[in-house]
Amino acid sequence: MDESFYNEREQTKAKHDLLRRYLERFAYKILGSGWQALDFIDGFSGPWENKDQTRFRDTSFGIALETLNMVAANLSERGKAVQVRCIFNEKDPAAAKDLADFVARVRPDFPHVEVHTLTGAFDENASAIDSLATHPFRLVLVDPTGWTGFPIEALKTVCKGRCELILNFMHNYIAWHFANPSLNRERWLTELIGAELAAPLHSRELSVEEVRDAVLAMLKAELGFAYACHSPIEMVKKRRLHFSMIYGTSAADGVFVLREAEKKALPDHEWKVNDRRARGQLSMFEDEEHSPGPYGTLRSRHLEDLPALVTKLARQTKDAPLSFKRFAATVMEKHYVSPTEIKEKVGELAKQGLIKPTWKTRKEKARVPDGGDLIVWIGDEIT
């Protein structure tokens, strides 16, 4: 990633780094499995505010083309016949023309990716996008410049079948438009999360976090995802949350891929923010100069809380055992921790006789569980 494209745009770099890492792992998992075909859908492609005017490497569609073509080429060299399709949609006519011209010019450079470009609003083109996306797996990116244009009905149309969703939740826009009750806000909330989830929120003030939590709930209740997660990215100059990348997936592996990409991308972003402050490029109070950003702060808190979190969920497996993969994904859905860190805590509970060490039937010397090993609480049997 060329750092020069992101001068004073660290939050955009963090978002793109997260997207690149997630997309690469996601593509290898899907294309390397029995599915062997996927559609990547970018509902708000742009370009806008990009610095690379030749290869558009600092845009979501440029990142998708390079990453997916690389993965498909690597798998092809290993003898796997895979199919990748990118569907790029853009509403603004001038930006859409730039996008289409770019795709026409570089198409030979990405021989492993089929590319379609559409002009028009995402919600108006949702049916056309759905018709184009015929592969068995979809990854949908919704990253608008503001907070409108992706009503729940459009998401329902596009997020079908085996699908994962990445949605950019813009904190500042939501704060401006959703804080206080109004007729407009009632309409916006209903469009965003659906009438049932919106109804209890209409009559009171709302924080950004409450609206974000409602969007996360919508991903599960309305779109049918099993897991809904988010990653916080800081506004560098103002030292506040700028946006959250929200993820919907129905696969435990999807949560694992997200948290792994996040663990690599976001600490690097927050370190660079602190580095700029330390070099006097950002004015901050002296005692805040080297403090962690939102991801680092929350991750530290989640690690402190992890023993209690694991114990609480483990108690629920007494009558309903969970595979370790599902157990870990449930913990990780709302917490910035890794499978390895969860394994260690489960192993400690097993040593205390509170969890049955089912993994030892797989391998006698196994110290901690693996993906398919069952988590079963037996603590209540201790007398």
> What CATH number does residue 42 fall under?
3.40.50
Residue 87 φ/ψ, nearest 5 degrees: -120, 110
Q: What is the mean pLDDT of the chain?
A: 91
**Residue 133 near residue 39 (C-beta atoms within 8 A):** yes
**The token pair that represents 155 in the structure block:** 């998401």
Q: How confident is the model at residue 274 (pLDDT cuts 50, 70, 90)?
A: low
User: Of 231, 250, 278, which one is at a domain's C-terminal end?
Assistant: 278
**What's the length of the chain?**
383
The rounded distance, in Å, linking the Cα atoms of 286 and 361 is 55
Asked if residue 305 and residue 235 are part of one domain, the reply reads: no
What's the count of helices (H) and strands (E) in the chain, helices before strands?
13, 9
- Alpha helix ranges (H) inside 144-182: 152-158, 171-178
Instruction: Among 48-57, 132-141, 309-318, name the one with the lowest average pLDDT.
Output: 48-57
- Residue 147 covered by a domain: yes
- Residue 320 covered by a domain: yes
Q: 14 Cβ partners below 8 Å, 6+ apart?
A: 233, 234, 265, 266, 268, 269
Full residue range of the structural domain in which residue 336 is found:
291-381
Asked if residue 268 and residue 330 are part of one domain, the reply reads: no
Number of domains within the chain: 2
Asked if residue 103 and residue 64 are part of one domain, the reply reads: yes
Q: Helix, strand or coil for residue 117?
A: strand
- 53-93 pLDDT tens trace: 889 999 999 999 999 999 999 999 999 999 999 999 999 99
**pLDDT for position 236:** 62
User: Of 250, 278, 306, which one is at a domain's C-terminal end?
Assistant: 278
* E strand or H helix that includes residue 109: none
**The token pair that represents 379 in the structure block:** 């603590």
Q: What is the identity of the amino acid at 329?
A: A
Whether the per-residue pLDDT at 35 is higher than 60: the answer is yes
- Residue 96 covered by a domain: yes
- Residue 40 covered by a domain: yes
Asked if residue 298 and residue 259 are part of one domain, the reply reads: no
**pLDDT for position 1:** 61
- 216-230 pLDDT tens trace: 999 999 999 999 999
Max CA separation in the chain (angstroms): 73
**Residue 219 near residue 248 (C-beta atoms within 8 A):** yes
User: Of 278, 308, 329, which one is at a domain's C-terminal end?
Assistant: 278
**The token pair that represents 341 in the structure block:** 């860190």
Facing residues of 163 across strands? 138
Place of tokens 């993994």: 359
- Residue 286 covered by a domain: no
**pLDDT for position 277:** 47
The rounded distance, in Å, linking the Cα atoms of 295 and 300 is 9
pTM of the entire predicted model = 0.91
Asked if residue 333 and residue 231 are part of one domain, the reply reads: no
Average pLDDT of the segment spanning 198-212 = 93
The rounded distance, in Å, linking the Cα atoms of 205 and 200 is 11
Asked if residue 110 and residue 80 are part of one domain, the reply reads: yes
Asked if residue 143 and residue 39 are part of one domain, the reply reads: yes
Instruction: Single out the residue of 44, 75, 18 nearest to residue 1, CA to CA.
Output: 18
Asked if residue 342 and residue 256 are part of one domain, the reply reads: no
Asked if residue 226 and residue 248 are part of one domain, the reply reads: yes
- Residue 364 covered by a domain: yes
**Residue 68 near residue 84 (C-beta atoms within 8 A):** yes
What is 34-96 written as a DSSP string? T--EEEEEETT----S-S-SSS-TTSHHHHHHHHHHHHHHHHHHTT---EEEEEEEE-SHHHH
CA 310 to chain centre: 23
What is 278-345 written as a DSSP string? HTTSS---GGGTT---HHHHHHHHHHHHHHHHHHHHHHTTSSS-EEHHHHHHHHHTSS---HHHHHHH
Percent of the chain having pLDDT more than 70?
90
Asked if residue 316 and residue 265 are part of one domain, the reply reads: no
Asked if residue 97 and residue 19 are part of one domain, the reply reads: yes
| Residue 310's CATH number | 1.10.10
**pLDDT for position 173:** 83
Average pLDDT of the segment spanning 263-288 = 57
The rounded distance, in Å, linking the Cα atoms of 303 and 309 is 10
Burial of 79 (0-12, 13-18, 19+ CB in 10 A): exposed
The rounded distance, in Å, linking the Cα atoms of 251 and 340 is 18
Asked if residue 148 and residue 58 are part of one domain, the reply reads: yes
DSSP 8-class letter at 209 = H
